Amino acid sequence: MPLQRRLPKRGFKSLTAGKVAEVRLSELNLLPVEEIDLLALKQAGLVATQTLVAKVVLSGKIERAVKLRGIGATAGARAAIEAAGGSIE
């Protein structure tokens, strides 16, 4: 019998499913701090406590200048943040 038929059929479980989070641009307006990092997102309840990596996606608008530290951003979100006077490190 071939090997692929001898092995048991099991589903796929992603190892990074609970460790990566997406944050919308409009959710950054809700935070009272100017400098946003992963710890600030966890304390505000926007991401889970097990999250290791967060990324900002372009969804909504941002009206104030924020400074992202240690958080990724898509190209559209980066342009919107810099247009509002913010920066990304």
Question: What pLDDT does 89 receive?
Answer: 87
CATH classification at residue 43: 3.100.10.10
pTM for this one? 0.78
Question: What pLDDT does 58 receive?
Answer: 93
Q: Is residue 16 part of a domain?
A: no
Q: How far apart are CA 31 and CA 34, in angstroms?
A: 8
Question: What pLDDT does 14 receive?
Answer: 81
Q: Is residue 57 part of a domain?
A: yes
Question: What pLDDT does 43 receive?
Answer: 94
For residue range 24-48, list pLDDT tens digits in order.
999 998 899 999 999 999 999 999 9
Q: Is residue 5 part of a domain?
A: no
Which range marks the domain in which residue 74 is found?
A: 24-88
User: 17: pLDDT confidence band, cut at 50, 70 and 90?
Assistant: confident
Question: What pLDDT does 71 receive?
Answer: 93
